[in-house]
Structure 1
Amino acid sequence: MQGLIKTITELPEMLVLEILSKLLVKSLTRFRCVCKLWSSSFETPNFITKHHQNNLKNNNLNLILKRSHGGTLDDIHYFSQLSTEKDQNFRVKHNIHLPFFENFVHATFIHGPCNGILCLAYLDGIGQNVALWNPSTREFKILPQSTIQRPHGPLEFSSFNSLGFGHDSQTDDFKVVRFVTNYYEENLDEGLLADWNSQVELYSLKNDSWKEISFPGVDGFASALFNNYVNGFIYCQAIAIDHLILSFDMVNENFSTSPLPEFGGSLEQYYLELLNFNGLLGAIFYPREGTDKSFDLWVMNGSWTKQFSVDSILGVERPLGFWKNGELFLESSDQELVLFDPSIQELTNLGIRAYQETMHITAYIESLVPLNGRSEHDECIIRRPVGGESN
């Protein structure tokens, strides 16, 4: 190793950095101690961008699975890092426990990834706790609570309903947008008066603060099952308005609406998930009832077109995410993680179990993006290697 490093350091600086930008984050972390130049170079925007572009080009995906082994939906959720080596068959490498979210009653939602960063959020009717996490550099940042003024009146409570996470390429900033509904109750002589109104809040990582932005007049529901950040926009399903998508522009910080594809069904009968499919907005539809599922994927590229249709997969409940060559991760009726290959119509059981509807799989590209947060160690985040124990 010493001979290799000596050879590299004798090469021109630009060539050295080009070589280093192709390495894994784990290797770069070790190489920080080689010299101050290397350590400082790894933190420059140009190197961070180059490193991420190389990973995108080579499709170097990593997998994290969120799940619960408990007996109820709201038992403690944890994360499992899955192996992506061909001969490992997605086995669990280690389990990750995040103490910041383990004292809450309900499950943590995952949004992203965006440039290798995950946004984790716990929502309830009282408040919301949000954190950003770079699982590659093992940096964790807890977002500050909002100080935005609520409208005057007899406020009963505020509900944090939906959240989106994305990147502003113009300012190189990461932003979180969320809908807030404020509920009011007032005892009057003629009875109880109940009312509500909505606000939209936007967090900027660069400013490390929240601000209020204009409410679009239409509420949106951004499912956390899939990554719905696509090329500078966050997409969600409009609430109470059928066949309409609400989108948020991360650069201009404004909302717009567009129609869903005419998929030939009703949203009362079919689930809808909006997702990033190879850099394009996708919409996947599947039946709400039954375990003999069909899946239709539509993609927006100027207009909606059907990408593919899977007529029938027996014994599965819901889709969880796509893999490198179009394979689809699914949750089986037995609450196990399975992989469906549409090219050969083959279903593979991966031997990983969880309590029903607690599985969420995230495929992300390694990134050196800093969060100005703290290390996993400082946040008491525990990674436990998995040897011969069960998945």
Structure 2
Amino acid sequence: MRVFKKKVLSRNQPWKDKKRRRREISIDDDISQPKHIPLDLTLDIVSRLPAKSIVRYRSVSKLWSSFITLPSFIDSFESRSSSQPPRLLIAFTLQGKHFVFSFPQNKNPEGSYSPVYSYHMKDTYYDRYMRESVHGLILLYGFRIWNPSLRRISTLPHPREHIPISLCSRSSYLCYDPLEGKHKVLCLYYGTKSLMAMILTLGAQETWRIIPKEHCPMHSPTSEGYGRCFNGILYYEARVDDQFIIMSFDVKSESFSPIHYPNYSRSGWSDTMIPYEGRLALVTRDFPCGDGELYILKDAHGHEWTRQSLPRVCFKKEWRIYMEFKGITDAGEFIFAPRSFVDSFYILYFDPRSNTTREAFFEGFMGNEFRRSGHGVSNDRTDCLGVFANHMESLVFF
């Protein structure tokens, strides 16, 4: 241990002597600290923090910013994030402003939840095409990618130089290849008798690539942005010769394959596609207002479906007219949420296998959050823009 004798500083002593004295004390304090923390240990510790904390650390120094953006660090963070319980991400609009809340999706014996994080989503606008969270990212209209964890939106390059004037309609889908850990955007431009399919791999410094026509059968997507991607396969609705079909797209091989709808007396567009027990399933539009039906695809490469009846779901009386089917959790529970509400939010989870329900209440969080920041008052009706099940945190940004 280094010992410094006490020294009385005179009034006329030069200021540089005082600075030297403080420097000696600082050096003495540093001797008791570890000389060096290995970089790999530092990265391992930081990767266990929430995304919002990691983002703040990027501003510590250029060195911190550089290793936090390393692909190996991002992969390590996502590996931990994917092993954590998924979240329910909810986007609201209030008085023309957009707000985002993230809640635990798992069961809570008390039935009440506090948000994991919440914030005002700036520099955006109403987007009715927000459909699903794909491995932590959400595709918005206009080739924009939203990372809710980082609170950032990135605009992708537009493929306009590849598009003939005759192709006037467009559908875009975000998909994910779990084998290679890559996000891709599939863009389809189509006309009456022609189709052009393009794909962009995110984060790979690539440009749009045109998928050869021999790998892409002629079809017309029926609605902008409506699709479901899971297990490396993207499913979306399309039409071939005035017949509704489901088109599947293998994200890794970038190949298409049509799937026929089950034989029942409804048009395909009125149903909702969901992943159910690892397979594609359809929920008919009568659910939950009436007795609905669940159709489960037996084989991803075939056209056989199994049929299952769904019972009527009972909601609280004051919420009944507002509730809508919003998707399914990774545990197989159907999610119902109100399209609009005042102050408090209510979600009902329904398990079709056991015919049981559980409720989640978010009492007064809107009022407390927005009164402090002056965004609104408790009597304002809030509209729900989107409910995204199985959301995970991600550090990916482009």
Name the TM-score, length of structure 1 as normaliser.
0.67
Deviations 1:250-302 (A, max 9, x none): 23322112345x4x633339942223456x33313123488235352636566
Per the TM alignment, residue 235 of structure 1 is displaced from its structure 2 partner at its CA by 1.0
Distance 2:88 2:224 in 1: 19
Partner of 2:313, secondary structure, is strand
Distance 1:56 1:333 in 2: 29
Answer 1 or 2: which has greater strand percent. 1
State the match for 1:284 in structure 2: 282
Contact 1:277/1:299 (<8 A) preserved? no
State the match for 2:334 in structure 1: 328
Per the TM alignment, residue 51 of structure 1 is displaced from its structure 2 partner at its CA by 1.4
Contact 2:220/2:238 (<8 A) preserved? yes
Percent sequence identity over matched residues?
Answer: 20
State the match for 1:158 in structure 2: 168
Aligned pairs for 1:108-119 (under 5 A) are 108-119=128-139
Partner of 2:52, secondary structure, is helix
Aligned pairs for 1:379-390 (under 5 A) are none
State the match for 1:369 in structure 2: 396
Greater Cα offset, 130-139 or 269-278: 269-278
| Structure 1 residue 202 corresponds to structure 2 residue 199 | yes
State the match for 1:246 in structure 2: 247
Task: Read off the aligned partner of 1:49 and give its amino acid letter.
Answer: D
RMSD (Å), alpha carbons: 4.0
Contact 1:244/1:259 (<8 A) preserved? yes
Per the TM alignment, residue 130 of structure 1 is displaced from its structure 2 partner at its CA by 1.9
For structure 1, the residue ranges without an aligned partner over 5 or more in a row are: 71-75, 122-128, 183-194, 372-391
Higher RCO structure (Cα 8 Å, ≥6 apart) = 1
Per the TM alignment, residue 223 of structure 1 is displaced from its structure 2 partner at its CA by 7.3
For structure 2, the residue ranges without an aligned partner over 5 or more in a row are: 1-29, 315-319, 367-380
Judging changes above 3 Å, is the alpha-carbon distance between structure 1 residues 234 and 325 closer, same or farther for their aligned structure 2 residues?
closer
Per the TM alignment, residue 175 of structure 1 is displaced from its structure 2 partner at its CA by 2.0
State the match for 1:212 in structure 2: 210
Distance 1:79 1:165 in 2: 22
Partner of 1:110, secondary structure, is coil
Partner of 1:287, secondary structure, is coil
Judging changes above 3 Å, is the alpha-carbon distance between structure 1 residues 283 and 158 closer, same or farther for their aligned structure 2 residues?
same
Deviations 1:106-165 (A, max 9, x none): x431244233111111xxxxxxx120111212332112332234446xx5x8222x2211
State the match for 1:377 in structure 2: none
Distance 2:164 2:391 in 1: 39
Distance 1:170 1:83 in 2: 28
Q: 2:187 aligns with which of 143, 156, 178?
A: 178
Per the TM alignment, residue 14 of structure 1 is displaced from its structure 2 partner at its CA by 3.6
Partner of 2:55, secondary structure, is helix
Name the TM-score, length of structure 2 as normaliser.
0.66
Per the TM alignment, residue 13 of structure 1 is displaced from its structure 2 partner at its CA by 4.3
Distance 1:297 1:223 in 2: 23
State the match for 1:26 in structure 2: 52
Aligned pairs for 1:339-378 (under 5 A) are 339-342=348-351, 343=354, 345-346=356-357, 348=359, 350=361, 354-355=382-383, 358-371=385-398
Distance 2:182 2:207 in 1: 12
Aligned pairs for 1:289-300 (under 5 A) are 291-294=289-292, 296=294, 298=296
State the match for 2:72 in structure 1: 46
Distance 1:362 1:220 in 2: 24
Distance 2:275 2:268 in 1: 23
Task: Read off the aligned partner of 1:108 and give its amino acid letter.
Answer: R
Per the TM alignment, residue 52 of structure 1 is displaced from its structure 2 partner at its CA by 0.9
Distance 2:122 2:194 in 1: 34
Task: Read off the aligned partner of 1:256 and give its amino acid letter.
Answer: S
Distance 2:198 2:129 in 1: 18
Q: 1:17 aligns with which of 18, 37, 43?
A: 43
State the match for 2:234 in structure 1: 234
Task: Read off the aligned partner of 1:159 and give its amino acid letter.
Answer: S
